[in-house]
């Protein structure tokens, strides 16, 4: 069914393609019987969620795979209703508190309480705790994180938490110290190649190793992207050729074009054009920090070594302000303008040095 | 006056020795001469100059040279080059005084300045000589004017008399308006000093149409609109030419003072023939106008003509509204007039004057009154349906609702309801009998004009009213006109001020009439007699807490201060002789403070910075290095940071730094010409766009399969998947029948369909505006994932999309059915049972329900049952059962019983029922006839 991504997703710890020693350790952990709170962190597309689902299956058996979507309505103390949808099986419940925005504290408190207060039904055959999976934990507000601290300890008997996040640094240290930290690194290029070729083999396609390597390079060690790219390649052209065009996400292409526009000309008019493009990107819900990161990544290699430090400093300041402020466009444009000024000065100095 | 002359005579005498007679001169520097006299001569009269000796000795030494310099100026014979004045003594001796040129002798003036500062007693004359002269001239002029006025009134009386004689039937001697004028005009000029207790604003408020300071066209529009009510209110016929000529008459009366008199008279004659009340007022107005315009109205008119092109279109629009036909009730189309404009333009006064002019009694409701809907309703009804009984003039009421922009929405809705109230039963009697109509009107219909006044017409509460009202935006009062009026007031009150000073005052208060007059009164009460430019400039009162529009603020930030500003600076510099602090204030400093004040007054830092951000790239600056842009953006991002601090952490101390960014931008970017400003819509557009994209991802995620949702979230979908998914979802399918596909292709199609279903995507047919049909992905991921200018592989052709769309729908149906079966497996088995089982067992089951079933719910078995049941008791004519015989017959024939049984049934019922899958039954009125239970899986 569905995309390759979904179709060939491993469902048990044993079937996982990479980080196998971690998988076996998890298996041992489960076999021990007791089970701490988990903090799973790792970059996007590294297979965190897959790993967690495998773990849950290891814990509870195939019953975990019977998922249902539930829509819950929670009421805040200020009588505001929050709609939130959860994905649950009989043994676990998954929630993404960032759906509730600033009210995520209520979600964390209410949901975990309701889950934790009900006992497991068949405690003889099953484990006597349920699992609450919190996705995108790094987007939990500070309030919610503090609310989580107490809840985690209080309901330890009936409930375990698995926090999934891309970066543990966004979580407050009390939470980090309460969890067993589990880092899922992004797959290496070889591992990506390996997964791609195995998937293609299952599909009955022959993937040239050269293409696999190119995809692995292009996807930035993001397996989700790699598989999607591979499938898009298949749609575009089969039989594969080693040098065929690999489709990319539109926004990345667009961002790259923006960077080259910045480099080609440094005038206020160009700045205005760039602003239009930045608005377009932001309007497509591309996070501002990703835009900034992408720009810097594109601009830095084309700069002289002298400039690089200055540019990175400017970018760092802009990123800080992005976090502090609320209007992303201003900060990104401030960075772009600073880069333009710096670059222009550098070029003009260079021309003078040449004796013009 | 006498004493002054005496003093000056003495001075001259001292100066020239024994001379007695003095020929006064044009421009004498009294102070100068005074000092020199003091220094040179011993026989100094102590009564005249109360000068302490210490001071004189102190200044004696250094001044000696200047005294000599002074003596140089008194010559025996006329000087060759310089200007001079001749002075002849009583003995006939003549000397020539050389005039000091401007710029010469600054040291002396300096000294004299310090002297003046140190001792006021040195000033011999309380009032400068020049002013005394002016006063004298003024007095004479006033006398002449008074005489003139007397003559004029006499003439006008005579003319009025003539008119009255020509119209002997109407006794209009007690015209209230005229009376008022006479009464009010009295104190205005004469006992000005006595009336210090009340405000000048009230005292000098215009009493007549022609005294209004506001724009002529606006006045006329309002008056015209009020006149439209004449038909209903005064029961007069509306005659277009009359109003036209009357208006024109007024206009020309205003414009041409010479011709006005005759024409006004003619006009008055015509008016008298038409109606009683109107003409006298108009006549009076005409007279007034001729006087007023002769003095001041001219300049305003000239300016109005200057930008005539722009003016006319608007004016024409207004006129068109006013020319429109009356409605069924003979009321004008717009029942309400809505005047808007900043405070101090004289809107309320305008309405009062115009309404009175048109013959109404003004009932005013303003913000100080209770304005709840109920109270308003009763008041409006009281005002519009009753007449004032008290007072000689039984005038109809005209309702004036002042400051309506502060009223609650409910009140405005109540007002609208009153305005739009209709007489339901009125229709047949539309124009038959007048009396009837009248009666009905009194029962609820609005028959009096309502005029509303507001400052801000764009208040949300006024939105409804704005659409239904005759909206008039009162423009700014012209400074020249206002200054003219102020001159009259100052003249009346004995204040002295020249035109420049008054213009400066107008400028300072932004042509706010009320503020100007109040300031004048304030100065008067403080004892000032002579108004100077410096005084007005240094004045702290009179400036309003001005709330400027966002565009003005942006403009001022992007624009360097204009010449007007430098003029102000000059004024300040003049003033600065006494106040060195202010004089030293640099231009930069004043710019800083101006922008700071501007921004602080507005308080909308967020909007201001948004506008600055949106518009700064359009500013033309000489900035090749982009340093200014970088600095400006730095400031803007700092401001955003601070704003977020305030919003998130309630760090309100940061608020005080908020205006700094706009100041910095002003300093960095301001140019001589501000760029074309645009309203910053980008941010709100961005928000809308973001919301749309998020809604799209939510739509995908919300309906996606749980297995999909479990592994991904909206952000990842947006960032990683969506764009690539679009590529994956558009494979190249051959546009042929699916039956002709190879297994590989079939597999691909199937995968595509599965993917689309699991992400809840489908193709929807849509019609483009030019009539073509398109299949569009629903939810439309293109919106969220595609960027302009990025090349894409060609999308699927129409036929392929159609094919996929069909397949997706089929797949969805399959899945829902499968889900249904999975939920209750019994239902799935039932139809199978029905098929396999023999009819009879089922019949028994159904029999129980059978009777209760509705016809459309009946199934095949019921019908068979029913048919057979009907057939069973078949009897012959006598009621005996015929069946047996036949049965016997069949048995006799030796065929097996069950077969026979079935055969017989077949014969009776026919072949169709129970044997064919498709059957027909006729129901009267309902055609749900052909039915068959078919499952999707049977078809697909």
pLDDT tens for each residue of B479-501: 888 888 888 888 888 888 888 88
Q: Do B728 and A45 touch (CB under 8 A)?
A: no
> Out of A145-149, B393-397, B481-485, which region has the weakest mean confidence (pLDDT)?
B393-397
| Residue to test with chain A: of B717, B719, B725, B793, most A Cβ within 10 A | B719
**Residue B719 carries which DSSP code?**
I
Q: Do B789 and A283 touch (CB under 8 A)?
A: no
Ranked by mean pLDDT, the top range of B33-42, B388-397, B423-432, B519-528 is B519-528
* Phi–psi pair at A37, nearest 5 degrees: -65, 145
Give one word for A132, left, alpha or beta, with left for phi > 0 and alpha for psi -120 to 50. beta
Q: Does A58 touch chain B (CB under 8 A)?
A: no
Q: What is the pLDDT of residues A237-262, one digit of tens each?
A: 878 888 888 888 889 999 999 999 99
> Out of A181-190, A210-219, A253-262, B144-153, which region has the weakest mean confidence (pLDDT)?
B144-153
Mean pLDDT of B87-96: 82
pLDDT of residue B112: 46
pLDDT of residue B158: 78
Whole-Å CA distances, B215 to B10, B210, B471, B476, B863: 55, 11, 15, 8, 90
* pLDDT exceeds cutoff 80 at B12: no
Contact criterion met (CB below 8 Å) for B399 and B451 = yes
Contact criterion met (CB below 8 Å) for B350 and B339 = yes
The domain locations on chain A are 4-183, 189-236, 250-353
Contact criterion met (CB below 8 Å) for B351 and B339 = yes
- Residue (of B95, B119, B122) closest to B32 by Cα position: B122
CA dihedral B850, B852, B857, B860 (to 10 degrees): 10
Mean pLDDT of A144-171: 88
Q: Name the H helices within B73-128.
A: 106-118
- Nearest residue, CB atoms, A341 vs list B627, B707, B758: B627
Mean pLDDT of A74-84: 88
Q: Into which CATH architecture does domain A250-353 fall?
A: Up-down Bundle (1.20)
CATH of region A4-183, choose from 1.10.443.10, 3.40.50.300, 3.40.50.150, 3.40.640.10:
3.40.50.300
Q: Does A3 touch chain B (CB under 8 A)?
A: yes
Average pLDDT, chain B: 69
Contact criterion met (CB below 8 Å) for B539 and B501 = no
Which is more confident, B85 or B193?
B85
Whole-Å CA distances, A162 to A69, A132, A137, B187, B493: 19, 6, 9, 91, 87
Q: How confident is the model at residue B896 (pLDDT cuts 50, 70, 90)?
A: very low
Task: Please give the span between the terminal C-alpha atoms of chain A, in angstroms, as a whole number.
Answer: 66
pLDDT of residue B78: 76
* pLDDT exceeds cutoff 80 at A222: yes
Q: Does A79 touch chain B (CB under 8 A)?
A: no
- Residues of A with CB below 8 A from B707's CB? 2, 6, 67
DSSP conformation letters of A158-204: TEEEEEEES-GGGS-HHHHHHSEEEE-PPPPHHHHHHHHHHHHHHHT
Which is more confident, B611 or B874?
B611
- Residue (of A133, A110, A127) closest to A38 by Cα position: A133
Q: Do B625 and A337 touch (CB under 8 A)?
A: no
Vertex B575 angle, CA B574 and B579, to 5°? 125
Ranked by mean pLDDT, the top range of A318-322, B69-73, B124-128, B910-914 is A318-322
**Residue B671 carries which DSSP code?**
B
Task: Tell me how far apart the alpha carbons of residues B601 and B596 are, in angstroms, rounded to a whole number.
Answer: 8
Beta-strand pair A130-134/A81-88: unpaired
The radius of gyration computed from the CA coordinates of chain A, to the nearest angstrom, equals: 24
Whole-Å CA distances, B624 to A267, A341, A344, B200, B672: 8, 9, 9, 57, 18
Residues 266-285 of A with CB under 8 A from B: 266-269, 271-272, 275, 279-285
Q: How confident is the model at residue B185 (pLDDT cuts 50, 70, 90)?
A: very low
* Distance (Å) from the alpha carbon of A187 to chain B's nearest alpha carbon: 16
- Residues of B with CB below 8 A from A282's CB? 686, 690
Give one word for B77, left, alpha or beta, with left for phi > 0 and alpha for psi -120 to 50. beta
Contact criterion met (CB below 8 Å) for B415 and B317 = no
pLDDT of residue A316: 94
Mean pLDDT of B216-230: 84
- Residues of B with CB below 8 A from A294's CB? none
B129-166 vs B257-274: helix crossing angle, rounded to 10: 30
> Out of B220-234, B285-299, B496-510, B723-737, which region has the weakest mean confidence (pLDDT)?
B285-299
Among chain B residues, CA nearest to A342 = B625
Give the contacts of A26 (CB within 8 A, at least 6 positions apart).
Answer: A13, A51, A54, A55, A58, A182
- Residue (of A34, A6, A128) closest to B709 by Cα position: A6
pLDDT of residue B157: 80
Task: Tell me how far apart the alpha carbons of residues B197 and B194 are, in angstroms, rounded to a whole number.
Answer: 8
Beta strands in B366-449 (DSSP E): 397-401
A268-283 vs A328-354: helix crossing angle, rounded to 10: 140
Q: What is the pLDDT of residues B92-134, one digit of tens each?
A: 888 888 777 665 544 444 444 444 444 444 567 777 788 888 8
* Distance (Å) from the alpha carbon of B636 to chain A's nearest alpha carbon: 7
Beta strands in B283-436 (DSSP E): 336-340, 361-365, 397-401
Q: Do B690 and A253 touch (CB under 8 A)?
A: no
Q: How many CB atoms lie within 10 A of CB B80?
A: 6
Contact criterion met (CB below 8 Å) for A188 and A150 = no
* pLDDT exceeds cutoff 50 at B297: no
Among chain B residues, CA nearest to A245 = B793
SS3 content of chain A, % helix, strand, coil (to 5): 60, 10, 30
pLDDT of residue B103: 55
- Residues of A with CB below 8 A from B718's CB? 284-286
> Out of A100-109, B57-66, B79-88, B675-684, which region has the weakest mean confidence (pLDDT)?
B57-66
Contact criterion met (CB below 8 Å) for A346 and A263 = no
* pLDDT exceeds cutoff 50 at A189: yes
Ranked by mean pLDDT, the top range of A208-222, B355-369, B778-792, B879-893 is A208-222
Q: How confident is the model at residue B56 (pLDDT cuts 50, 70, 90)?
A: very low
Task: Tell me how far apart the alpha carbons of residues B346 and B357 are, in angstroms, rounded to a whole number.
Answer: 16
pLDDT of residue B109: 44
Mean pLDDT of B442-447: 64
Mean pLDDT of A55-65: 89
* pLDDT exceeds cutoff 50 at B207: yes
**Residue B676 carries which DSSP code?**
P
Mean pLDDT of B203-231: 82
Beta-strand pair B84-88/B94-98: antiparallel
Q: Is the CA virtual torsion B542, B548, B554, B555 positive or negative? A: negative
The radius of gyration computed from the CA coordinates of chain B, to the nearest angstrom, equals: 48
């Amino acid at each position: 069914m569905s995309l390759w991504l979904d179709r060939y997703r491993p469902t048990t710890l044993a079937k996982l393609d990479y980080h196998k020693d971690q998988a076996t350790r998890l298996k041992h952990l489960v076999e021990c019987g007791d089970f701490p709170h988990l903090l799973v962190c790792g970059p996007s597309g590294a297979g965190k969620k897959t790993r967690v689902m495998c773990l849950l299956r290891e814990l509870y058996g195939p019953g975990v795979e019977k998922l249902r979507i539930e829509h819950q309505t929670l009421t805040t103390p200020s009588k505001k209703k929050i709609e939130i949808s959860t994905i649950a099986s009989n043994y676990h419940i998954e929630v993404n508190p960032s759906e509730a925005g600033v009210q995520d504290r209520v979600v964390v408190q209410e949901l975990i309480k309701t889950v934790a207060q009900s006992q497991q039904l068949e405690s003889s055959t099953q484990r006597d705790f349920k699992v609450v999976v919190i996705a995108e934990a790094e987007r939990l507000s500070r309030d919610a994180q503090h609310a989580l601290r107490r809840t985690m300890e209080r309901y330890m008997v009936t409930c375990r938490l698995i926090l999934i996040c891309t970066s543990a640094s966004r979580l407050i240290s009390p939470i980090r110290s309460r969890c067993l930290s589990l880092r899922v690194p992004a797959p290496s290029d070889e591992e990506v190649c390996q997964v791609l070729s195995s998937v293609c083999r299952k599909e009955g396609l022959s993937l040239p190793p050269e293409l696999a390597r190119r995809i692995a390079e292009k996807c930035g060690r993001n397996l989700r992207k790699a598989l999607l790219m591979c499938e898009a390649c298949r749609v575009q052209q089969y039989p594969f050729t080693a040098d065929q065009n690999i489709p990319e996400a539109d926004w990345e292409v667009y961002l790259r074009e923006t960077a080259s526009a910045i480099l080609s000309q440094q005038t206020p008019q160009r700045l205005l054009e760039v602003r239009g493009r930045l608005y377009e990107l932001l309007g497509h819900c591309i996070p501002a920090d990703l835009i900034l990161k992408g720009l810097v990544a594109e601009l830095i290699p084309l700069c002289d070594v002298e400039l690089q430090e200055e540019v990175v400093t400017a970018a760092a300041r802009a990123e800080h302000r992005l976090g502090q402020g609320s209007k992303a466009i201003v900060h990104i444009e401030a960075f772009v303008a600073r880069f333009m000024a710096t670059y222009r000065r550098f070029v003009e100095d260079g021309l003078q040095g040449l004796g013009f | 006056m006498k004493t002054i002359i005496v003093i000056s005579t003495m001075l001259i005498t001292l100066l020239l020795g024994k001379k007695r007679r003095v020929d006064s001169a044009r421009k004498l520097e009294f102070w100068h001469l005074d000092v020199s006299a003091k220094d040179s001569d011993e026989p100094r009269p102590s009564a005249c100059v109360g000068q302490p000796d210490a001071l004189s000795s102190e200044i004696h030494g250094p001044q000696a040279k200047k005294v000599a310099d002074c003596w140089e100026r008194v010559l025996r014979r006329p000087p060759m080059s310089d200007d001079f004045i001749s002075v002849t003594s009583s003995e006939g001796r003549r000397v020539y005084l050389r005039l000091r040129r401007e710029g010469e002798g600054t040291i002396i003036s300096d000294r004299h300045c310090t002297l003046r500062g140190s001792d006021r007693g040195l000033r011999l004359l309380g009032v400068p000589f020049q002013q005394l002269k002016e006063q004298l001239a003024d007095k004479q002029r006033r006398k002449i004017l008074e005489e003139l006025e007397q003559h004029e009134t006499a003439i006008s009386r005579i003319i009025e008399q003539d008119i009255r004689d020509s119209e002997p039937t109407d006794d209009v001697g007690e015209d209230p308006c005229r009376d008022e004028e006479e009464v009010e005009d009295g104190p205005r000029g004469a006992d000005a000093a006595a009336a210090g207790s009340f405000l000048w604003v009230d005292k000098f408020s215009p009493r007549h149409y022609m005294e209004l300071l506001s724009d002529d066209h606006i006045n006329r529009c309002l008056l015209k609109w009020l006149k439209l009510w004449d038909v209903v209110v005064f029961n007069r016929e509306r005659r277009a030419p009359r109003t036209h000529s009357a208006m024109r008459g007024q206009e020309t009366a205003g414009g041409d003072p010479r011709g006005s008199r005759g024409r006004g008279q003619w006009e008055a004659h015509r008016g008298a023939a038409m109606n009683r009340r109107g003409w006298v007022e108009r006549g009076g107005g005409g007279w007034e106008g001729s006087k007023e315009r002769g003095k001041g109205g001219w300049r305003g008119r000239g300016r109005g003509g200057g930008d005539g092109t722009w003016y006319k279109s608007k004016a024409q629009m207004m006129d068109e509204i006013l020319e429109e036909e009356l409605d069924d009730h003979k009321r004008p189309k717009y029942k309400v007039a809505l005047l808007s404009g900043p405070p101090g333009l004289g809107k309320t006064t305008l309405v009062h004057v115009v309404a009175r002019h048109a013959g109404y009694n003004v009932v005013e409701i303003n913000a100080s009154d209770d304005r709840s809907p109920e109270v308003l309703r009763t008041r409006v009804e009281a005002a519009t349906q009753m007449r004032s009984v008290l007072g000689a003039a039984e005038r109809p009421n005209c309702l004036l609702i002042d400051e309506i922009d502060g009223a609650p929405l409910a009140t405005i809705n109540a007002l609208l309801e009153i305005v739009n109230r209709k007489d339901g039963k009125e229709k047949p009697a539309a124009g038959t009998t007048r009396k009837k109509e009248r009666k009905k009107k009194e029962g609820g219909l609005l028959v009096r004009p309502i005029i509303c006044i507001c400052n801000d017409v764009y208040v949300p509460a006024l939105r409804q009213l704005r659409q239904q009202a005759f909206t008039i935006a009162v423009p700014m009062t012209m400074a020249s006109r206002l200054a003219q009026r102020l001159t009259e007031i100052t003249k009346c009150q004995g204040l002295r001020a020249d035109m420049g000073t008054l213009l400066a005052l107008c400028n300072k208060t932004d042509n706010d009439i009320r503020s100007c007059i109040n300031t004048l009164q304030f100065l008067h009460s403080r004892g000032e007699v002579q108004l100077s430019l410096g005084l007005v400039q240094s004045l702290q009162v009179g400036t309003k807490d001005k709330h400027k529009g966002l565009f003005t603020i942006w403009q001022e930030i992007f624009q360097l201060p204009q010449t007007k500003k430098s003029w102000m600076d000059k004024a300040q510099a003049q003033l600065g002789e006494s106040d060195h602090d202010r004089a030293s204030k640099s231009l930069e400093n004043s710019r800083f403070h101006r922008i700071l004040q501007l921004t602080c007054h507005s308080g909308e830092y967020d909007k201001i910075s948004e506008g600055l951000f949106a518009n700064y790239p359009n500013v033309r600056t000489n900035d090749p290095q982009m340093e200014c842009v970088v600095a400006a953006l730095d400031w803007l991002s700092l401001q955003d940071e601070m704003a977020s601090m305030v919003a998130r952490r309630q760090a309100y101390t940061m608020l005080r730094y908020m205006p700094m960014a706009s100041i910095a931008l002003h300093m960095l970017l301001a140019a001589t010409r501000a760029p074309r400003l645009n309203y910053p819509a980008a941010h709100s557009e961005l928000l809308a766009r973001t919301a749309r994209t998020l809604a799209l991802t939510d739509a995908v995620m919300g309906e996606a399969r749980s297995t999909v949702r479990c592994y991904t979230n909206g952000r990842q979908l947006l960032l990683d998947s969506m764009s690539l998914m679009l590529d994956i979802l558009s494979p190249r399918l051959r546009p042929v029948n699916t039956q002709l596909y190879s297994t590989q292709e079939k597999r691909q199609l199937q995968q595509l369909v599965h993917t689309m279903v699991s992400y809840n995507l489908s193709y929807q047919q849509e019609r483009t505006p030019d009539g073509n049909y398109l299949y569009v992905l629903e939810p439309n991921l293109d919106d969220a994932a595609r960027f302009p200018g990025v090349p894409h592989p060609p999308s699927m052709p129409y036929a392929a999309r159609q094919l996929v769309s069909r397949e997706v729908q089929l797949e969805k149906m399959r899945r829902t059915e499968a889900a249904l079966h999975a939920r209750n497996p019994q239902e799935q088995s039932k139809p199978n049972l029905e098929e396999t089982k023999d009819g009879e067992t089922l019949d028994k089951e159904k029999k129980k329900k059978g009777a209760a079933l509705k016809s459309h719910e009946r199934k095949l078995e019921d019908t068979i049952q029913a048919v057979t049941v009907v057939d069973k008791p078949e009897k012959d004519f006598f009621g005996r059962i015929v069946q047996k015989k036949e049965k016997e017959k069949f048995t006799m024939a030796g065929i097996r019983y069950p077969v026979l049984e079935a055969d017989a049934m077949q014969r009776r019922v026919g072949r169709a029922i129970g044997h064919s899958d498709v059957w027909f039954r006729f129901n009267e009125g309902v055609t749900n006839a052909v039915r068959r239970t078919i499952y999707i899986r049977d078809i697909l």
